[in-house]
Structure 1
């Protein structure tokens, strides 16, 4: 299936500091494209891959699972590592979950982690019924476009493929168990009004990681897809400052552009 217009992956070859951005479940790079371009404009090398099964039609996700999504971001991480001295991993929603797994698995290969409204658990009756319902119903109504800002639209599926959602719950369990292995500096930004990921997820992540350099930022004006919402600029600025503190070459003329 052809990729939907706007859902294409994005890459920018900049300087010696790289950023890998991971988009969310049933979403696509479009939700993170402004963030990626902001970082690229400041001389960073940027990779924003399209996860398998995403960016086409929801039926294509039914034959993919968390191992496929993780393999793609893992591959992109090592591509960045080949040409950058330092690499940071960023993620939105399930993309934040993937970023945390990368950090837990790869240790010093990841210099820092930034997550926006990360997800770590499905809650409620629907979550409890998922193991059975996925065999009976292929999909349910979508979760895309939880944005407070009028006129801002997320390009995502209108349906949630339940087989893929079930696989995502396995990813959540694995990452939750591995959170104490996350030791890198962590910037966690989350929206108190989030209709997709519970704020409890952010609280649990903050309580379980082993990172000692941790900053929490509230996104008071935004819903789940905060990277396209009122607080987008805050996210961009905070994340760039986070990198600048940990990678001193950022912002110095000639170092971030490879010149």
Structure 2
């Protein structure tokens, strides 16, 4: 199946510090490519996988579930660990959710995480109907290109498979149940105005992780897909500075 232009994964062998970059739900690596390329330029070893079912058609995605997406990032994390001294995980939206899950289950393998507009729940009223709707309707109109900067496309689907959204809710339930297992350093960047993920998500995460090294950054000029919006450069520099600080502290220790 042909890929959406720009949805190709990225793999780069750089220095001893590795970074796993994870895109969001129904989106693709296109939404993360400038960030991943910035990390490459900073000298890191970078892996940005295309999650199963993403970057082609929503019908391809409809047969995948959150366990498939998690299995892929878990596999890539293991690959990075075989080549790097330290590994950081960075994700947008559902990519942030998966980063949290990796930190819960494999915290000893991760030096730190960077989350951009991560989600662990939804306040959308239609979500309560998903257990029934998913058997009656294959897809809803997609939630895509919530970007303040004009003329920018994230490479996401026009439709959202309901079985996949229902599966994502299962992932959120597991993440919330185990959130106190997150002890690694955390940077959470959230958009002041986000039409996809409610502010209560960031507030809940910050209030419930067990990490002692936690930083919140508010993005004032971006919507949900902030990695390719006006505040992208702030995300890039903040993440690189975070890696240097945490990796340097570890090396001194």
Q: TM-score, normalised by structure 1?
A: 0.95
Partner of 2:201: 201
Partner of 1:225: 225
Q: How far apart are the structure 2 equivalents of 1:180 and 1:107?
A: 11
SS of the residue 2:234 aligns to: helix
Q: How does 1:144-223 map to 2 (within 5 A)?
A: 144-223=144-223
SS of the residue 1:248 aligns to: helix
Q: How far apart are the structure 2 equivalents of 1:97 and 1:112?
A: 14
Q: How far apart are the structure 2 equivalents of 1:205 and 1:125?
A: 21
Partner of 2:119: 119
Partner of 2:99: 99
Partner of 1:63: 63
Q: How many angstroms does 1:175 deviate by?
A: 0.6
Q: How many angstroms does 1:91 deviate by?
A: 0.4
Partner of 2:73: 73
Is residue 131 from structure 1 mapped to residue 154 from structure 2 by the alignment? no
Structure 1 moving runs of 4+ over 4 Å: none
Partner of 1:46: 46
Q: How many angstroms does 1:248 deviate by?
A: 2.3
Q: TM-score, normalised by structure 2?
A: 0.97
Q: Note the aligned Cα RMSD (angstroms).
A: 1.1
Q: How far apart are the structure 2 equivalents of 1:93 and 1:42?
A: 23
Q: How far apart are the structure 2 equivalents of 1:130 and 1:145?
A: 23
- 1:35-59 Cα deviation digits (max 9, x unpaired): 0000101110000000000000001
Partner of 2:12: 12
Q: How far apart are the structure 2 equivalents of 1:98 and 1:92?
A: 9
SS of the residue 1:154 aligns to: coil
Question: Aligned residues, how many?
Answer: 250
SS of the residue 1:189 aligns to: strand
